[in-house]
Amino acid sequence: MKIGILGTGMVAQSLAPKLVELGHDVLLGTRDVKESLARTGTNGWGHPEFGDWHKQNSHIKVGTFADAAVHGELVMNACSGHGSLPALKAAGANNLNGKILVDISNPLDFSNGFPPSLFVGNTDSLGEQIQREYPSVKVVKTLNTVNAMLMTNPNMLGGGDHTIFVSGNDAQAKEAVIDFLKSQFGWRDVIDFGDITNARATESYLHLWIRMFGQFQNPMVTIKVLK
Amino acid sequence: MKIGILGTGMVAQSLAPKLVELGHDVLLGTRDVKESLARTGTNGWGHPEFGDWHKQNSHIKVGTFADAAVHGELVMNACSGHGSLPALKAAGANNLNGKILVDISNPLDFSNGFPPSLFVGNTDSLGEQIQREYPSVKVVKTLNTVNAMLMTNPNMLGGGDHTIFVSGNDAQAKEAVIDFLKSQFGWRDVIDFGDITNARATESYLHLWIRMFGQFQNPMVTIKVLK
């Protein structure tokens, strides 16, 4: 499948090689290709900057946000919270309309340090903001509750016996994403978590996740829902 | 142990009989004893109102909020979010100072229906508001992430193999509460979750919990942390 990924950070760097390995035709989109490829060193999380990463992953196609949106039959938003709406604007509504947008972003606000707060929440969510801004895009919120490594490899923790949530307004799009998570990444415990307003819940969960990450000094932490 | 419980709702009705059964000397506190005992029928959650409940549980001592605070070596806040600060005010700082207050409340705002939003969150929490208002009380936030039945009987779900979080500024108080949860209620996976600011995380988790409750039509839902 042709997949466009918006973003060049940790999430995109986890998704892209895995999807290529699975046989998909992937294009990573960024704001400024030249500038992104020129970034070297490690970021604040100790992760390689995009330029260095791409030297080790030169088989991954890179283009603009619009290139990625045009390319993808399926588009994935792997941008930061603050970067998401600007990236989608650059991608272009006309290039996104009618498509499924898997939204993995979280509205994290690090302006007061760690742990971050959320810049939208409680009675709204970033997933909903994106859906409102792009009413003809089928926004499906998922994967935002786990570390980038775990998104594509749930079996890395607890034998894969943990939970992922999927929310969105379009039932068919949601079903397609659920199938994708199961068949491509091996997710087993996938909860169809209602319409996009439920992104409020999974984004708010970041308050808990980020503190577990901080206190355990371990990003490989997640939850299994018991009922 | 002498335990004072603030509140007469579902949480108090779950805690009190269990604690008495365990041999503790319990006093339930309410704003107006006569009025509380006069309440009959079922509430909006299909749960018996306090008067009817107490007819079946007449061995449970009932008094004012202040009576409960005076009585308890340990005090538990089982009030609603909106009811918590008024209850503590009625209980009286002088009756609470120096004691451990187990805070189980959640700042749920049902004014726009179900699912509720939170009336405090993101950069603050009800646990923190209580701690700020009562600096000489040792506030320990816990049990607020699970259904009232599960609080005292974790083994009712998944063989008890799920997680509870404990946050508070006083290390000894927190340790005492962790021991209490383990020895009295049988909790096994208890996470010492740092200082009281982490109540932001467990209270925010209610966004997720309440939607799982609503969508599964089942309050017996919780999480196990995997790391």
Write the pLDDT tens digit of every residue in B85-132: 999 999 999 999 999 999 999 999 999 999 999 999 999 999 999 999
CB contact under 8 Å between B118 and A117, yes or no, is no
Predicted confidence at residue B16, as pLDDT, reads 98
- How confident is the model over B34-84, as pLDDT tens digits? 999 999 998 877 888 999 999 999 999 999 999 999 999 999 999 999 999
Predicted confidence at residue B43, as pLDDT, reads 84
Average pLDDT over every residue of A84-94: 98
The nearest CA of chain B is from the CA of A195 a distance in Å of 11
Predicted confidence at residue B196, as pLDDT, reads 98
- How confident is the model over A141-150, as pLDDT tens digits? 999 999 999 9
Q: Which residues from A are below 8 Å from B222, CB to CB?
A: 225-227
| CB contact B106 to A (< 8 Å) | no
B207 closest CB neighbour out of A117, A161, A201: A201
- Report the percentage of chain B scoring pLDDT > 90: 97
| CB contact B219 to A (< 8 Å) | no
Report if pTM > 0.80. yes
HEC letters along chain A: CEEEEECCCHHHHHHHHHHHHCCCEEEEEECCHHHHHHCCCECCCCCECHHHHHHHCCCCEEEEHHHHHHHCCEEEECCCHHHHHHHHHHHCHHHHCCCEEEECCCCEECCCCCCCEECCCCCCCHHHHHHHHCCCCEEEEECCCCCHHHHHCHHHCHHHCCEEEEEECCHHHHHHHHHHHHHHHCCCEEEECCCHHHHHHHHHCHHHHHHHHHHHCCCCCEEEEEC
Predicted confidence at residue B44, as pLDDT, reads 78
Amino acid letter, residue A123 = T
The bridge status of strand B138-142 relative to strand B100-103 is parallel
A222 closest CB neighbour out of B202, B207, B226: B226
Predicted confidence at residue B59, as pLDDT, reads 95
HEC letters along chain B: CEEEEECCCHHHHHHHHHHHHCCCEEEEEECCHHHHHHCCCECCCCCECHHHHHHHCCCCEEEEHHHHHHHCCEEEECCCHHHHHHHHHHHCHHHHCCCEEEECCCCEECCCCCCCEECCCCCCCHHHHHHHHCCCCEEEEECCCCCHHHHHCHHHCHHHCCEEEEEECCHHHHHHHHHHHHHHHCCCEEEECCCHHHHHHHHHCHHHHHHHHHHHCCCCCEEEEEC
Average pLDDT over every residue of A25-39: 97
Average pLDDT over every residue of A113-138: 98
Q: What spatial distance separates the first Cα and last Cα of chain A, rounded to whole Å?
A: 35
Average pLDDT over every residue of A51-58: 96
Average pLDDT over every residue of B171-197: 98
The bridge status of strand A61-64 relative to strand A25-30 is parallel
pLDDT over threshold 90, residue A106: yes
Predicted confidence at residue A47, as pLDDT, reads 84
pLDDT over threshold 90, residue A45: no
Q: Which residues from B are below 8 Å from A164, CB to CB?
A: none
Average pLDDT over every residue of A68-90: 98
**Peptide bond preceding B48: is omega within 30 degrees of 0, i.e. cis?**
no
CB contact under 8 Å between A117 and B117, yes or no, is no
Q: Which residues from B are below 8 Å from A212, CB to CB?
A: 225, 227
CA–CA distance from A191 to each of A74, A99, A224 (Å)?
21, 22, 11
| CB contact A222 to B (< 8 Å) | yes
Tell me how far apart the alpha carbons of residues A158 and A161 are, in angstroms, rounded to a whole number: 6
| φ and ψ of B137, to 5 deg | -100, 140
Average pLDDT over every residue of B194-204: 98
Average pLDDT over every residue of A183-191: 98
